[in-house]
Amino acid sequence: MKIRLHDKDFVPYLSETEIDKAVTSIADQINKNFQDKKPLFLAVLNGSFMFTSDLMKKIEIDCELSFVKLASYHGTQSSGEIKELIGLSDNIYNRHVIILEDIVDTGTTLGHLMEVLKTHDTASISIATLLLKPDVFKKKYPLHFVGMEIPNKFVVGYGLDYNESGRNLKAIYQLEE
Ligand code: XMP
Ligand code: MG
């Protein structure tokens, strides 16, 4: 079913079932790779809140969760403009940090977060993203866990917004051509 947010129409793209499969595959890999490492998940707000919640329910190893905020996106185009990192108050020294992102587009946002994290003495830094747009990703750093690769089209739902609307949608929708 088509939905309208602000001035644009969106069509169904990824179902709840498809999303769940992608989340499960990321959780399985983390459960395997980080056993006895007590990873610290660092979820990037706002977009990753729903992915984070569903992923955490599938994590069966000892872990911690913290949230940071770093917005750089306006409308349907990646602005490239960087804002400040808020919320990195926990001690990440010597911790296995796993960044949780909803989507990696050009990778600019995450690149900035990585620069900040690299100045801390972490044990390791990994990235888990539900979605990746490989055609636009500038590949400045490795992405360890990718739920699904998608074409370079604007998507909303499951935490992702179009001008703050659509985050509550259970499925993911694509901008109608
Ligand atoms: P960059 O280009 O820095 O962008 O990797 C990443 C951030 O931009 C947002 N983003 C999107 N949000 N639908 C959205 O709702 C999209 O298709 C989309 N592409 C990028 C997102 O907040 C992400 O953290
Ligand atoms: Mg985001």
* Banded pLDDT at 90 (limits 50, 70, 90): low
The two three-digit tokens of residue 77, written as one number: 């185009």
Alpha helices in 47-86 (DSSP H): 49-58
* Banded pLDDT at 88 (limits 50, 70, 90): confident
Alpha helices in the chain (DSSP H): 16-33, 49-58, 108-118
Ligand 1 pocket test target in 109, 115, 136, 139 with most atoms within 8 Å of CB: 109
Q: pLDDT tens-digit profile of 45-82?
A: 999 999 999 999 999 999 999 999 985 555 566 655 65
**Whether 30 contacts 48, CB under 8 Å:** no
Beta strands 124-132 and 145-149 are: parallel
The alpha carbon of 129 and the centre of ligand 2 are apart by a number of angstroms equal to 10
- Residue 101 DSSP SS3: strand
Cis peptide preceding 168, ω within 30 of 0: no
The alpha carbon of 35 and the centre of ligand 1 are apart by a number of angstroms equal to 30
Q: Tell me the CATH number of domain 16-150, given options 3.90.380.10, 3.40.50.2020, 1.10.10.60, 1.10.287.70.
A: 3.40.50.2020
Enter the pTM of the model.
0.93
Atom of ligand 1 nearest to the CA of 160: 15
Q: Which residue has the higher pLDDT, 115 or 15?
A: 15
For residue 35, pLDDT beyond 60: yes
